[in-house]
Chains A and B, each alone.
Chain A
Amino acid sequence: MEEAFPPTVPDTGSEWPWNRPPPVPSTHYLDNRIYTDPAVFAREREHIFKQQWKFVCHESELPQPGAYRCVDVADVPLFVVRDEAGELRAFFNICPHRGARLLREVRGQLQGHRLTCFYHHWSFSSSGQAVALPLPQGYQAQAIAAKDIGLRSVRIASRLGLVFVRIEDGARPTSLDEFLGPALDQLAEPIADLEVFHYHRVEIKANWKLFVETNCEGYHELLHLLNRTTALSQREYLKRKWLLHPGGHHTFQPANIAYGKLNLQDRNDGTLPGMSPNMHIVTDVFPDVMINARSTVVRIDSLIPLAPDRTVLECRGLAPRGDSEAQRRLRIRQHNEVWGPMGRNLPEDIWAIETQWPGMARGKLPFSLIAREDDDQATDDSPLRSFYARWEKLTGLRAFDIDAAGLAAQEVAK
């Protein structure tokens, strides 16, 4: 029998200790200041978003040499471009001369593999080398020449079409493959040859981790009419397992969704390679990438944290290349049925977490629970605990008490 939550306050005079650490292991609750404290946010930006591989776009958004895509990571404007040889490169989208924004459209195509700053017309090749400084005689006295100047580059790598960058190396830099480990193995077939057909972004009035958490536990599926009707209602679904990978990544093992229970159509036609009709797979890549595959179509969410209480959610929809017009229309319908800004599911997650953040701000609810244990099955909180174990390692903070000393020093000493 499921336990009641929130626990009922008994009328015996005793109460749940809302203002004190709950009587569970420290791994099983959170100090809610991790969501609201500006200093924690700043530390996350430096130690997680700048020093870890960060998903920025899909290779299909850069279809040919000279194609570029502007992105933001940890408050740093970047652009990703395919150079003349077709290699992916990433640079600060900042002119090294006087700091102007180099590329101002969110995506586009470089003309002649050259980009020119609109301000003083310094120009650069698609490999980042300065190629011309107008009126160069003015720099001769200081021996400044185009051949010595380049854009600030950023590490970039891709796997299965997903493009990642890393702004800073940090103390223990890893390759993208080391960073990902086996996290994407489950998706290797379904996402190997896709293209982006959908993009939208939503600014959420809540901390970024609250959105991540919606994809790290199945318990919240009770929130969603679609999920509780087509998923949780199946006894077998509750046995669906989470696999916890090193590095804070997780995969939610395949399950079959009973779309018919909500009078929605089954997803029999055009299933992705390696998937069967109505199959659902979830993969979370630490810290902020959530990949959902629903047999015929894939959604990739990623986050741009702006402030403790403001987060941009970027959502992409992907489908196989080479679809017929009718097949693509069907996939778009299936995508939008659940996801997209007007899907049944995504808006509910946003509603939910936008109610959470103010409840946690300014000490109104100092602690929250991640205490469910169910053998890593669907509604276990173990993926959340895995996420926060990684978060602690990178930030040097304790998620159960951000004032707790020791971890940062221990980690630095290792």
Chain B
Amino acid sequence: MNLEDRIHIHELILSSGMALDERRFEDYLALYAEAGEYLVTAHVPETASLGTWMDLDKDNLRRLLESADRHTWNTGERLHQISAPVFTLEAGEVRTISVFSVFRIDEVGESRLYAVGHYHDIWVRTDRWLLKRRVARLASRHLTPPSAMPL
């Protein structure tokens, strides 16, 4: 993996947040490989375990996003802030970890922090770099009011 690949993957990570913020769901889905997966996890003290709060293959992620506008929890704008990733090369796969924050902006323009965590991404290269798996590992456990929109 050369510097150009690193820059490209970094840009893809940033673009994933922008695509969600701008509700360009097809662009967001295009970041994933056909066998791609999206998960949200959080450490839960009450069960003393890593809880899985979302676990979708690409088809189910598409179905969720396609119906997003018909749900009632989608009011308000969001803004993702994503850090530069840390890269590791493992078993021929590129893995990145980046910090994310998701802010919500209400109808009168007030912003507040909604969730923070790390993206643990696995990237594969076909004709281009694609997400094989994204785990949004939450540090926040209190999402309020919650929403089924991917983070």
User: When A107-B45, A348-B72 are in contact, do A202 and B145 touch as well, CB less than 8 Å?
Assistant: yes
Chain B residues near A61: list those with CB within 8 A. 46-47
Determine the distance from Cα of A197 to Cα of B45 in the docked complex, in whole angstroms: 12
Assess whether A347 is in contact with B46, with CB atoms less than 8 Å apart: no
Give the number of residues in A that approach B within 8 Å (Cβ atoms). 36
> Which residues of chain A (214-244) have a CB below 8 Å from chain B?
223-225
A66 to chain B, nearest CB (A): 14
Q: Is B89 an interface residue, CB under 8 A from the partner?
A: no
Q: Which residues of B contact A (CB under 8 A)?
A: 40, 42, 44-49, 51-56, 63-64, 67, 70-73, 75, 141-149
Assess whether A332 is in contact with B71, with CB atoms less than 8 Å apart: no
The chain B residue sitting closest to A346, CB to CB, is B146
Assess whether A341 is in contact with B55, with CB atoms less than 8 Å apart: no
Render A102-117 as a binary contact track against B, CB cut-off 8 A, 1 for contact. Answer: 0001110000000000
Assess whether B48 is in contact with A107, with CB atoms less than 8 Å apart: yes
The chain B residue sitting closest to A312, CB to CB, is B142
The chain B residue sitting closest to A228, CB to CB, is B70
Assess whether B55 is in contact with A333, with CB atoms less than 8 Å apart: yes
Q: Is A1 an interface residue, CB under 8 A from the partner?
A: no
Q: Is A344 an interface residue, CB under 8 A from the partner?
A: yes
Determine the distance from Cα of A264 to Cα of B63 in the docked complex, in whole angstroms: 9
The chain A residue sitting closest to B49, CB to CB, is A197
The prevalent SS among residues of A at the interface is: mixed
Determine the distance from Cα of A69 to Cα of B46 in the docked complex, in whole angstroms: 8
Determine the distance from Cα of A264 to Cα of B64 in the docked complex, in whole angstroms: 10
Determine the distance from Cα of A336 to Cα of B41 in the docked complex, in whole angstroms: 12
Q: Is A199 an interface residue, CB under 8 A from the partner?
A: yes
User: When A336-B52, A336-B54 are in contact, do A348 and B71 touch as well, CB less than 8 Å?
Assistant: yes
Which single member of A69, A332, A342 contacts B146 (CB below 8 Å)? A342
Task: Please name 24 pairs of A and B residues whose Cβ atoms are closer than 8 Å in the assembled complex, sorted by A.
Answer: A105-B45, A106-B45, A107-B45, A198-B44, A199-B44, A202-B143, A203-B142, A203-B144, A225-B67, A225-B70, A263-B63, A332-B52, A332-B55, A333-B55, A336-B52, A340-B54, A341-B53, A342-B40, A342-B54, A344-B71, A347-B147, A348-B72, A348-B73, A350-B144
User: When A198-B47, A199-B44, A202-B143 are in contact, do A351 and B52 touch as well, CB less than 8 Å?
Assistant: no
B73 to chain A, nearest CB (A): 4
Q: Which of B53, B71, B148 has the most CB of A within 10 A?
A: B148
Q: Is A101 an interface residue, CB under 8 A from the partner?
A: no
> Which residues of chain A (65-90) have a CB below 8 Å from chain B?
69
Assess whether A341 is in contact with B45, with CB atoms less than 8 Å apart: no
Assess whether A196 is in contact with B47, with CB atoms less than 8 Å apart: yes
Assess whether B142 is in contact with A201, with CB atoms less than 8 Å apart: yes
